[in-house]
A and B are shown apart, each in its own frame.
Chain A
Amino acid sequence: MSTANMTRAEKRQARRFRRFDNPWINPKLVWGIGLLLGILALGVIGRIGWDLDLVFTGSSPLRLPPVGFENLRGQAGIGSHPIGTDGGGRDMLAMIIVGAPNTLFVGLLASVIGMSIGIFLGFSAGFIGGRADDVIRVSADVMITIPPLLILVVFQSAFGDVSLTMMALLIAGFVWQSPTRLIRAQVLSMKQSGYVQMAQLSGASTGHIMFREMMPNLVPYLFGSFIASVTTAIVTAVGLEVLGLGPQRIPTLGRTIYEAINAGALIQNLWWWWGIPTLLLAVIFIGLLLINLGLDEVSNPRLRKLS
């Protein structure tokens, strides 16, 4: 049958069949990754095409609205500051070009470290068992109930200004628990499975069993867990920044919101000041959610029927 004389429903059906040839190419995953790449592109292209000196206080007029809008003083937006300026005379476009990739950076760095710890501890606990397992399991159980935000609030109010990397490292200390638990549980159940026992009987080394037999089966879980920890890390980082505790000298989306709230931007109708960072954060979180949903479809084929 040629595509020309198929009805729309049939076409959709055909597309669906093709789509599920490869579960990794599903619309949710593609859209999610696309949104995050968009944020990244904003940072990369912006650095080339926009004057980044405009992030400094007083480099632009105060509280200009985006192009096409008017602020309460009757000033119209001008082309040299297309999405407005904040109360400190900083260009919003320059702020988000610098700030948005920072947010992703903190999330990614914290979860790469957290995941590495999680993979290491999870495999150790599952494989070695005994005393090592007890220690790892209990510490993961203990740490998982402690909300990272509060410990970090204590830390950062004691130490004052922190760098972005330092904040990511601190957050990493709180995102290893879930991957550890997940991987430990999976390793324990896989140890009982036929193919791993087969490998063991045929004299495969521990390294071979871990990386060649078990790891490929863990991949969808690992990705899912990774995205979940990126989300947690970013939520925590933004939380700290909104409390005014993040890095003080580098523009971040959370800190921009903090400054906007403190300056009463809500009452003064300076919506672009807090609204644009909020929107970008929303895009980041939606992107992460879509990726997570897409990965769920990869690892759990039962979900595919419904979408």
Chain B
Amino acid sequence: MGRIPRSYLINRLMTLILTILIAATIIWIIPRLSPVDPAEIALGRMASGAGSVANSEEILAQLRANMGIDQPFLLQYFKYITGALVFDFGLSTAAFPTPVSTLILNALPWTMGLMILSLLITFFIGNLLGALMVWDRSPKLVKVAIPAAMVFTSIPPILSGLLLMWVFSAKLQWFPLTGAYSIFVEPGWTWAFTQSVLHHGFLPALSIVVVTFGFWALGMRGLMIGVQGEDYVKLAEAKGLRPRYILYRYMIRNAILPQITAFALKIGLLIAGQVLVERIFAYNGMGKLLYDAILNQDFPVIQGVSYVIILITAISVFLVDLLYPFIDPRIRHSEA
């Protein structure tokens, strides 16, 4: 088994911390470069609620003090970074005074559930189909149908989502149009609720699956072509092992390894794509939270959601990098 040298671990850990720090800093700096004053937005919201606001100057000053934007930039930055470490992004301005972390905590399980489910399905289906495309014993249908279907996998999930939504929700009405569960069932660990969640989650997951499996299938196809001519495959054939056994244990087992690295690099794009799918399905996850925050100009929430998603991406990449030598014992991390 591969052992992880300390220098490599430190190196990767530094990259991880640097990534998170830089991302957090960019997210913090951008709104401060903007001419928009969050205190004025909050005042505007009050004014539109109450009709008119008296003493607007004092209220603005008080709002700025509450948001901490009257303090020196360096102090603000320091507070923000230390807050971000413990997931404290302050209070949402639209859903005042709910803390941003509470909103994110409510949305995160939905996003993670949908993501893990659709990722696993695509990774499995995609790699299997990619392998079958190269395998000389697979049925002819596979070799003709899959490359044809593959063309659609260049499309981002939001487009497939629209299409599936129209066909299955609006036209056939097999699935609900929006939401993550029916408003008629009480959330809880009941069968009715589980059923409702699965029913609502099917289309969003499917719209991700249909357009992402091709990425894995294509990669796997290329890798399988490389593995096909290897001596150990020829030897296994000469030994008279069952072809199916050779396919799974000799060919796929070796070809799948670089796919796992690709997995890590792809996670960021996949999450970003999923955020959009959640937005069109009005699924109760991070995507909907982000979209509502954009509509309401709710900066703490926008920052918090972006930060958490970038954090998830960075940590997944880090973990895949570290776990890689355990999956592929041939890879040794060099001390350099």
Known A303-B222, A303-B225, A306-B134: A149·B34 in contact at CB below 8 Å = no
- Is there an interface contact between A146 and B310, defined as CB atoms closer than 8 Å? yes
B123 interface contact, C-beta 8 A = no
B294 interface contact, C-beta 8 A = yes
Q: Tally B residues with Cβ within 8 Å of A.
A: 58
The main secondary structure of chain B at its interface with chain A is helix
- Interface size class on chain A is 35 or more
- Is there an interface contact between B163 and A286, defined as CB atoms closer than 8 Å? no
B303 interface contact, C-beta 8 A = yes
- Is there an interface contact between A274 and B225, defined as CB atoms closer than 8 Å? no
Known A146-B19, A242-B158, A281-B155: A153·B222 in contact at CB below 8 Å = no
Of the residues A143, A148, A281, contact of B159 by C-beta under 8 Å: A281
- Is there an interface contact between B177 and A145, defined as CB atoms closer than 8 Å? no
By a CB distance below 8 angstroms, the chain A residues around B151 are 286, 289-290
**How near does chain A come to B226, taking the closest CB pair, in angstroms?**
8
Known A154-B27, A242-B158, A286-B155: A266·B177 in contact at CB below 8 Å = yes
The main secondary structure of chain A at its interface with chain B is helix
Cα A296 to Cα B150 with chains together (Å): 15
Of the residues A142, A147, A275, contact of B22 by C-beta under 8 Å: A142
Closest A residue by C-beta to B290: A153
Closest A residue by C-beta to B317: A145
A197 interface contact, C-beta 8 A = no
**How near does chain B come to A256, taking the closest CB pair, in angstroms?**
12
By a CB distance below 8 angstroms, the chain A residues around B302 are 153-154, 157
- Is there an interface contact between B299 and A158, defined as CB atoms closer than 8 Å? yes
Of the residues B225, B265, B275, B299, contact of A144 by C-beta under 8 Å: B265
Closest B residue by C-beta to A236: B272
By a CB distance below 8 angstroms, the chain B residues around A302 are 225-226
- Is there an interface contact between B154 and A145, defined as CB atoms closer than 8 Å? no
Interface string of A149-188 (1 = CB under 8 A from B): 1110111011110000000000000000000000000000
Known A146-B310, A157-B297: A261·B272 in contact at CB below 8 Å = no
A80 interface contact, C-beta 8 A = no
